[in-house]
């Protein structure tokens, strides 16, 4: 059943697909009038022979520096390193190449520049939603995973003092341009590609089951799930199939449009945030483990919606939790917290911390307190 309410349009953003980065990136930078660019990426992509060389070649003389070594879950220290490079070169655009950690680090770096951030503690002031100045520096993102953070107006950055991953929200935080080039995903490790694909599946499923679902998101989340289900299985059968990779990228894009228009997610995402920031678990893998358990927890509230989603991928009569769990297993991904090296003794801490997350509070079946979360974590361990 759809919720009543209003639907805000997505943030202004151009999404380029069907064109290789060598053609698309220079054209987009020309349109922006950008001549001094900093490229932000990871060690694995910028190693000798890595795919970042293709992005650097597309940038040519515009590339003034490559900032690499961005850590998982976007530590504040890495955000400050990006800001320092942008200031040093008086950059008029920044390009991110990589996954969600690169994307989120650059988001907060661009906001930090216009908000007067000079040291790690200054980020505390930006933690209040919609506070701080809007980013002014044009930001182009070339994703290599399916986590879909490039399409959202929020970011997760880790405060190393905790450590705790914290949410930053601003309506202008999303990249200005996203370039989807499946050829630049072929070096993404299969576990990372597939696990972030399950993260996108989680976006689509928790949007479809949301407490404030809207008609537009209902259509997009179901189509996203179908694209992802087929695309991930296609990539498993043939990792070099660029059509299947693009299908996954399109599914990822559509999967997160609910979040981009104010549709709330549930406990799989909420608990996953804490598993990431506190236990160091990759976000995609948190969805692999938690989504089936959360679906079973919510079955009495939205069972019919779950059944219709399973039927949409030819699994009529099979519980949606089992459909997801089987897909996770077929992709060779961890299905239990212990398989992802999460110690059992920190589960009570994760349960306590999870109650501070917005999307635990908007789970379709109310989560009353830490004992409810702990029960889910114990079942998942």
**pLDDT tens per residue across span 81-136:** 999 999 999 999 999 999 989 999 999 999 999 999 999 999 999 987 777 889 99
- Which pLDDT belongs to residue 11? 56
> Does residue 263 contact residue 214 with C-beta atoms inside 8 Å?
yes
Q: Which range, of 235-249, 271-285, 310-324, averages the lowest pLDDT?
A: 271-285
Does residue 261 register a pLDDT over 60?
yes
Distance between CA 288 and CA 27 in Å, rounded?
Answer: 38
Distance between CA 108 and CA 132 in Å, rounded?
Answer: 11
Q: Domain-by-domain residue ranges, the chain? A: 14-183, 189-380
Instruction: Measure Cα distances from 96 to 71, 141, 229, 341 in Å.
Output: 14, 5, 27, 29
Please provide residue 191's backbone torsions phi and psi, each rounded to the nearest 5 degrees.
-60, -40
Strand partners, 140: 95, 177
Band of residue 156 on the pLDDT scale cut at 50, 70, 90: confident
Instruction: Measure Cα distances from 209 to 213, 268, 303, 333, 378 in Å.
Output: 7, 12, 9, 24, 23
Distance between CA 44 and CA 23 in Å, rounded?
Answer: 24
Band of residue 165 on the pLDDT scale cut at 50, 70, 90: confident
Nearest alpha-carbon partner for 285 in 195, 191, 376, 205: 195
Does residue 164 register a pLDDT over 60?
yes
Residue 10 per-residue DSSP state: P
Give percent of the chain with pLDDT exceeding 70.
97
Band of residue 18 on the pLDDT scale cut at 50, 70, 90: confident
- CA geometry: angle at 72 spanning 69 and 75, to 5°? 80
Band of residue 3 on the pLDDT scale cut at 50, 70, 90: low
Distance between CA 235 and CA 190 in Å, rounded?
Answer: 9
> Does residue 205 contact residue 229 with C-beta atoms inside 8 Å?
no
Residue 134 per-residue DSSP state: P
CATH number of 189-380: 1.20.1090.10
Orientation of helix 320-330 relative to helix 283-312, angle to 10°: 130
**Residue 137: helix, strand or coil by DSSP?**
coil
Band of residue 140 on the pLDDT scale cut at 50, 70, 90: very high
> Does residue 126 contact residue 132 with C-beta atoms inside 8 Å?
yes
- Mean pLDDT of the region 150-157: 90
Distance between CA 131 and CA 320 in Å, rounded?
Answer: 39
Orientation of helix 370-380 relative to helix 267-279, angle to 10°: 80
> Does residue 310 contact residue 319 with C-beta atoms inside 8 Å?
yes
> Does residue 267 contact residue 161 with C-beta atoms inside 8 Å?
no
Does residue 295 register a pLDDT over 70?
yes
Is CATH 3.40.50.2300 what the domain over 14-183 is classified as, yes or no?
Answer: no
Does residue 62 register a pLDDT over 70?
yes
- Helices (H), strands (E): how many in the chain? 15, 8
**Residue 168: helix, strand or coil by DSSP?**
strand
Does residue 5 register a pLDDT over 60?
no
Instruction: Measure Cα distances from 328 to 190, 229, 238 in Å.
Output: 12, 11, 17
- Mean pLDDT of the region 265-270: 96
Distance between CA 161 and CA 238 in Å, rounded?
Answer: 43
Task: Tell me the pLDDT of the chain averaged across its residues.
Answer: 93
- Which pLDDT belongs to residue 81? 98
Model confidence, pTM = 0.90
List pLDDT tens digits, range 34-50.
999 999 999 999 999 89
Band of residue 4 on the pLDDT scale cut at 50, 70, 90: very low
């Amino acid at each position: 059943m759809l919720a009543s309410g209003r639907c805000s349009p997505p943030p202004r953003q151009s999404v380029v697909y069907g064109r290789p980065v060598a053609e698309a990136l220079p054209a987009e930078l020309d349109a922006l009038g950008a001549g001094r660019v900093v490229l932000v990426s990871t060690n694995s992509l910028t190693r000798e022979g890595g795919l970042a060389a293709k992005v650097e070649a597309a940038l040519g003389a515009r590339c003034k520096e490559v900032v690499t070594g961005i850590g998982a879950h976007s530590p504040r220290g890495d955000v400050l390193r990006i800001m320092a490079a942008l200031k040093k070169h008086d950059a008029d655009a920044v390009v991110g190449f990589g996954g969600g950690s690169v994307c989120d680090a650059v988001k907060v770096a661009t906001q930090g520049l216009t908000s007067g951030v000079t040291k790690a503690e200054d980020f505390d002031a930006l933690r209040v939603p919609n506070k701080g100045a809007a980013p002014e520096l044009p930001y182009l993102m070339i994703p290599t995973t399916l986590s879909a953070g490039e399409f959202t107006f929020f970011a997760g950055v880790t405060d190393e003092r905790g450590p705790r991953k914290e949410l930053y929200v601003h309506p202008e935080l999303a990249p200005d341009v996203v370039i989807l080039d499946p050829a630049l995903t072929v070096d993404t490790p299969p576990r990372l590609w597939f696990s972030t694909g399950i993260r996108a599946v989680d976006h689509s499923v928790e949007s479809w089951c949301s407490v404030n679902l809207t008609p537009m998101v209902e259509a997009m989340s179901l189509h996203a799930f179908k694209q992802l289900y087929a695309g991930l299985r296609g990539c498993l059968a043939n990792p070099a199939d660029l059509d299947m990779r693009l299908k996954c990228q399109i599914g990822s894009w559509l999967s997160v449009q609910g979040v981009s228009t104010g549709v709330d997610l549930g406990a799989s995402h909420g608990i996953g945030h804490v598993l990431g920031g506190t236990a160091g678990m990759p976000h995609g893998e948190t969805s692999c483990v938690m989504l089936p358990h959360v679906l079973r927890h919510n079955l009495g509230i939205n069972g019919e919606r779950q059944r219709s989603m399973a039927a949409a991928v030819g699994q009529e009569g099979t519980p949606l939790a089992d459909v997801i769990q089987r897909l996770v297993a077929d992709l060779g991904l961890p299905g239990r917290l212990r398989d992802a090296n999460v110690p059992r003794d920190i589960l009570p801490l994760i349960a306590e911390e999870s109650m501070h997350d917005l999307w635990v509070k908007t789970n379709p079946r109310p989560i009353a307190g830490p004992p409810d979360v702990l029960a889910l974590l114990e079942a998942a361990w």
